[in-house]
Each structure stands twice: as C-alpha cells, then as structure tokens.
Chains A and B, each alone.
Chain A
Amino acid sequence: MSTSPAPNPASWRSRAFPARWNKRMAWLGLLLYVIYATSIIDVTWERFVRGIANGGTFLARMFPPETAPERMALVYSGLLESIQIAILSTFFGVLLSLPIALLAARNLMPPMVSWAARGVIAICRSFHYVIVSILFVKAVGFGALAGILALIVATIGFVAKLFAEAVEEMSMKPVEALRATGAPFFSIIFLAVLPQVAARFIGFTTYQLDSNLRNSTMVGIVGGGGIGATLFTAYRRFDYDLVLTILIATIILIMIAEALATRLRRIFQ
C-alpha cells in the first residue's frame, strides 16, 4: 500500500501480487455457508449412501422402456397435446408481449406508463409456470387450457421483458429523425423501432417456443394437460418403464424443437 520504494524483495512480491483479502473472505464465507446449510437441512451422508443403493433397483425397474402399442398411443397423444399447448401459448403470449414491451420501454413512454407495464411483467416473471398453472387449474379446471394460460403468463414475463430491454438499448437517433418529419407515433414504431429490434424479437420468440415446449411437458404434473399428466400418472403407479419411455420421447421432441428453432432464426437473420 505504501508509496515509498520497498527495501526488500519480500515486499516487492507483496506489491506485485497483493493479497486479495476480500476475495479470500468471500470464499471462506461461502464455505461456512455450505457447512451451516447442510447441517440444518435434513441431508445426511448415510441417507445419501442408502439412496445410491436404491438408485440401482430404481434404474433396473426402468429398463427396458415400455413399448406396448396401446401405451405408445398414450405417449403420442400426450406429446401432441404438449406441442399444441406450446404453439398456442407462444403465439398468444408473443402477441400480448409486443404491446406490453413497447409500453414498458422507458425511452418511448412516460414513466407512469412504463412503470405500470414493468409491474405486469415483473409479476408474470416472478411465479414459476407450474405455480401459475396450479392457479389456472383451480380457476378453469383440469386440462390444456390451464396449461396454455400459465405458459402465456410465462411468455409475457420473458419475451416482454427482453423485448423491452432491446427497445431501450436501440439507437434513438432514427426515432428523433422520424419525429422531426412529423411522423405519427405508430409510423415511428413501425419504421424506426421495429426494424432495429425485429431480429432480436424473432430470436426471443423462437427461444420461447423452445422453452414453452419444454415447459408444456411439465404443466401436466399439476393438471395443466399434455404429456406431463401421463408422466405423473405413470410415476405414481410405479410404472417406471413407461416413465422412461416418456422421458426418452420428450427428450427427442425437445432436441428436434431446438434444432428447428435454430433453423428458423437463420431464415430471419
């Protein structure tokens, strides 16, 4: 720390590599936290070991995966419903996200409006889609509708937030230029705002389609329709071989969707 020339090599060393105490303290703190947290939570080594043994029998019961045709038909119709949930929730969610995001962009809207829109987005974001779908199951009953509504909420939370940020990051110069020509508000949106953010918007949308598809396989666990319902039923009846079939089918579907989403993004680039 001192500015006077150091007399011996030892202090040169400490000047070239000053000990970063803050960092060391942070690491120590993290370590202490882990010890403390594992001690108060009911996680014990012995339980872990017992589980490992359990895991062997569990995996053994999963193999071979179920392939009976009537069970496969069940898997197929579940997957189809999941895809439909994903498509509809992405479509309507994105449609709603557009105006909400524009309202939330602080560089286009007065503070009052953008704060209100940001509040809506924050609430949509804060709840996990499974919790939201529980509420919708209670409100509109079991089935795909609850799942769709829950994922629309999730879509708004994600797409509208990122889209609003993209709008805030764009250059205001073209907006200024178009204002100066006397262009009406919507023309400015169409010709100065959207061209700047369209590519990113399509990126968010394809990403969300992908993630809605993943999530649509889960809303069924709480009654929101799709393959998740089939999965949870199989799990509860200890049909672990069917569980494995469903998992494999879901993973394949998700991988195909990811590949498609990447392609789609390229078309619009």
Chain B
Amino acid sequence: MEESFKENEENCSYDLYLQEIEGIDDYWGPTFRTIFDNNQHHNFKQKLDERVKQHDKDIERLCNVYYQGFIESVTELLEVKSQSKNLNDQVIHLDKELQRSFQPLAKSGTELLQARKVQSNIATVMAQLNLCLPVFTCYSKLQKQIADKKYYPALKTLEELEHVHLPHVANYRFSNQLCQKIPKYRDKIEAASMGDLKDFLENIRKFSPKIGEVAMRHTSEQLASDPTVVGRKKKRNFLQAESRSNSTEEDLSAHELIDFSPIYRGLHIAEVLGKVTAFEAYYRSERTKQARLVLQPPTNMHESEESYRNYIYAVLGFFILEDHVLNTGRGLITKAFLEEMWSVALSKITTALQTHSAYCTDATLVLKIKDLIMLFCSTLRNYGYSVKPLWELMRELRDHYTEVLMQRWVQVFREILSKEDFQPIIVHDEEEYEQILQSFPWDVDLPDDITFPYSFPFSSMVPKVYQQVKEFIYACLKFSEDLNLSQVEVDEMIRKSMNLLLTRTFSGCLSSSFRSPHINLQKITQIIIDTGYLEDANIYLDQFISNITGEETRNITVGAIQNQHAMFRVAREDAVRQICEKLKQKLNEFLELESYDWNLVEPKGHASTFISDIIRFLQTTFQSFTDLPPEVAQIACRAACDHIANCMFDMLMNEEIRQISMGALNQLNLDLLQCEQFAASEPVNGLQQDELLSYFTKLRELLDLLISWDWPTYFHDYAQETSRYKNVRPEIAVILLEKLKEGDKKNIFTVLNKNERDKKKLLETVLKQLRQLCVK
C-alpha cells in the first residue's frame, strides 16, 4: 500500500504534466523542469510515450471512423469541383452573352439621349423661327417683286417689313442688317425704276418707227374707206385693199403696240419716293434729246425711199408716243412742252425733206416721197398736229417733180433718138399698120386700099415720142393726185409742163442729136418731117389733157393751134442749119480737091473736075432727097450756092496766091459758068428765078470785068445803081490786078511785044484810078 499509493500519486502528477503540456502549446519549460526536478522524466517519458501511443491510437481510431466520410467528402468535393467549374463556365458564357446583347442597347440608349436633346433644340429653334418667318416671307416677297420689276408693290412691302415685322425680331443680327439694308433697297428701287424708264425710252426709240408705220397704214386705210376721196383714186384704193388683207395681224391702234407701263410705274414710284419733279425733268430732257436724234435725217436719205420712209416713220412714231404720253401721263409732259417740241420739229422736218428731196433725181421716188409726206400729214393731223409748212413743201416738191420728170424724159427722148434710124416706118401687114395708127393719131384721109409693104411718111420716132408725151402727162398727173388741187390748177400745171417738155426738153434732145457726128442729111431730113407730124398731133394731146382733167379745152387750145408750128421751130431751124452745115462739109471736101494752076496759060476748055463733081453731086442730092420739104431744100440749095460762090471768090483772093494768069481766070470763068448753069436750072422747085444766080453775081461781075477789060464802063458807071459792075469793089479789083500784074511779069517775052507794053501801061493807069477810088 504505500507503494501503491505512492504509485498512484506519481501517476496523478504525470497526468497533470501531460495536461499542462497538452493544455499549453508552448511554454513548456517549467513543466519540464518540474519533471526533471522530480526526476520523473523517465517515468514521464514513458508516460508521455504512453500518452503519445494513446493519442496515436485515438487518431487512428478517429481516422478510421472518419476515413470513409473523408473519402466520400473528397469524392463529393471532386464532384463539386467539376460542377463548380461547369457552373463557372456557364456563368462566364452567360456573362459574355449578356455583355454582347447589351452593347447595341447601350448605343441606342446613347443615341436616344442625343436625339432627345436635338429634339428639344429643334423645338426651340422652331419657335424662334416662327417668330422670324414673316420677316423672311416679307423679305423674299420684296426680292421677288424687285426681281419682277414690280417696284411699286416692292416699295409697299418694304414699308411693311420695316414697320410691322422687323421690330419683333430686333434682337437678331440679320434684323439689324435688314434694317440697314432698307434704305439701300429704296435707292435700288429708284434706280431700277429709272433704269426701266431708260429701257423704255430706248425701247420706244427702237419701236417708234414701227408705230409710225402702223399709224400711217391705218391712216391710209382710213383714207381709202373715206367715201369723199374714193372717186379720185380708185386704183390706189384697190391697191390698199390688197395690202390691208395682207396685214390683218396688226389691227391694233398704233400706240397699243407699246407698253407704257414703265412710265406709269416710274411715275408712281417717283410719287412714293417724292421725286416726281426729277422724274419729269429727266423724262423731258431725255425725250428732247431723242427728238433731236430722230429729227436728224440719215445723211444718205435721198438715196432710197426706204430711208425717207424710216425717217418719217421714226418722226411720226415719236410724236404719236408723245401725244399718248400727254394724254395719259398725268402731266408728265404738258401741252405747251409738246407744242414747242413739235414746232421745232416741224421746221426741222421740212428743212430735212426739202434738202433731201432736192437731191432726188428719180421721179418715182419723188412720187413715193410725196405719197409718204401726204400720208404723214394726214396721220399727224389725226393726232392733232399742225402740218401747214408741209403743204408748202408739197408745192415745192411738185415743181421739183416736174423738173425731175423733164430730166427723165430727156433720157427717154435721148434713148429713142439714139436708137432711131430716122427712116420712114414700113409696115408689112394690116396688123402693123393698125398698130401704128393706134399709137399715133394721123390726121389724114387714108386711102381705102393700101398695098403692103406700106410706108408711112414719118419715122418710128413720131409714135414713140407721142406715146412718151402721153406717158409724161400721166406721170405729171400722178403727183397732183390726192393733193386736193382744183381741176383748173391741175390742168394748167399739166399744160405748162407738157409745153415745156416739148419745146424745151424734146427740142433740146433733137438739137443735140443733130450734133452727133454720124447724123447724115437723110436723118435730118426725116427729123424735119417728123417734127411736122408731131406738131400736127399736138391738138390731140391737148384733147387728151382735157379728157383727163375734165377741163374744157380753153383758149389755150386756140393758142396752141396758132403756134402749133412754132413748137419745134427752134429745133427745125437747127435741123435746117445742120443740113446746110452737112452740105457745106461735103462741098468743102470737094473744094479741098481743087487744084487750080494759077499760071495756066490756056484754059482746058471745060470746067474743072471738082466743080463738075460738085454740081453733079448737088444735082443728084436734090434729085434724090424727094422727101425734103421744099422750103428746106430751097434754103439748103441757097446755102450751097452761097458757099460755093464764096469759096471760089476766096480762092481768087487767097493771099498766098500772088500771081494769076489770064488763062487761070478764064478757067475760073468756065467753072463759074458751070455753077451758073446749075443755078439757072432750077435744081429745087419753088425758087425765085435768078435767085440762085444772085449768089454768083459778085464773082461773075468781077470775072467779066477782068476778062473783058472793060474798065471805062467800070469807072464810068462807078457807084451807080445801074452799073454792070456795081458789086466789084475797087479794093478787090486792085488786089486782083496786082496778082495779074505779077502773073504777067513771069512772061519775060511780053516786054518785047508792043501790044503787051500798051496793055501794061493801061493796067498801071487802071490801078492808079482804082487806088484813087479806094481812098475815096
């Protein structure tokens, strides 16, 4: 027992130690010391081993108990692990999916947000815009109106804009700008309306000729349908009817062709802007300038009707427009202004037309100008303008027209005369015969049976000229148409013109045709005959005029008959002179062949060849020209004899011939005899006996005196009417005696002859006496 106890006790202390060790994780020192101190460590070690064994056993058992569970748990855990991994994967995937599908949504969300913001902005802007809109509408209206040139509404719009709309939007910058622009717009409108006016002015300047033209046409139509003038101009009426049907497209009255609105508008605008006076002034000055331009005729106006027409149209158009403006322009121009302008214009027009028509040399053109001016006057009168000076102009133009006609007929006559062969007309059949008789009134009893070819006494010039005179009368008449002249006036005018035409123009042409170098005796003869027939036809022309004018053939007719044969007197005298001239030319050609041997001792016993040729030629000629009127033939024959006598006398007196023989004198005597024979043979009917001989008297007496040496008689009868040698002037005798003396000197042998010596002495005495006579 004590031992047991003691053992017990010892056990207990071990336990405690164990507990202590077990209970405390560290700080095991003290315990171990105690043990060691007690020397128990062996025991304790044992004990501790025991204890460890016990714990191992406990652990082993515990482990056995829990092992299965552990395994199971591990298995389970492994399972969980895979599952959790799976789950994890799923979650990740899901997350990804989610992420992806959310992305667009998120984007839309952002956008939506943006849109919302914009929307709200727009709403704000719209509200503001609504406020501004009237301004803009108004502004655009303004622009449009300006663009459409509706300046007056534009002005109104501008006002509206300024006073109604702009104040609402004053805080905007554009509004400020607009405000600033408004005065500019006003200026612009004003400028534009002025521009329009300028355009308009330019336009009417271009258009006014057209207006003039239309107005003239209307007037002419009106005149045509005027019953009071219809009778006088049927022909023209017809023409105009035609022209009217051609121009139906323009039945507007003249001023309707032009749109005057720019003026009215401009005037309105000027009123609104308060600038009416400036506008008026501008208009008037511009128009005055235009008037100056319009009234300036084109420099070559006289060249064509077209220029005249354009000029007149332009002037007319201008004043029609002005008239219209006066009537509708609310005082834009005043009557006084227009009247003043017109009076200036009228004088200019008159001068211009006067000047230019004076240049005109074409009758048709003058006629056309006349018609134009007539129509111009009528139209102007319709518009209430006075046209008096133009009527004066018409009278001047009429005179000019006649003048021009004369000139034209100079050409016509020249043409006829130049183509004329001056041969009697020869017709080959009835038809031609009738034709001639129709074209020329031949007042003669025509034989009933005529044989063809038939020869008229006159040449083709006669009917042609007769027809032309008629044409001339018609042409003259054309001018007096519509001129509202009295019948008497027309009649007088035409008669005067016709007389002038025949006596001046035609006669002049005839006379000038005589001067043509190719005219021969034959032609001149025919002309003389022709003039006779033309004069005879004068009475028919007179009737012709009376028929046209309806005037009785008055006293003029009687007068005309009286000096009928005086009409071409000048021309005929000219013709006769020409005949004589031609004849003389021929005679001169013969005389140039003269070949006297002035020292001829003995005459040939017959006349010189050139003299016999001359005489034969004269005989033949007067024999052949049976047509030559007797009085003309007489004149010609006288002229021929006179010429021959003078020429022969001149030959004798020729200063170059200093010596003449008696033989030569005798030859001359023979020649003179030949001439005298011709003179006495009555080569032309109706000459007084001895009339032709008288031309040779002077020469005859001279030759007789010299050949018969009859000086005593000469001196005895000197200066007496009955003297045989009364035509021998002593001076002439002296000259010839000197020549004879010279001629005698040549003959040296004569000195030896007593007879000759006596003769010489006598000659000296005669010469002395003659010289004394000369001195007296």
Chain A complexes with chain B: no
User: Residues on A close to B: CB < 8 A?
Assistant: none
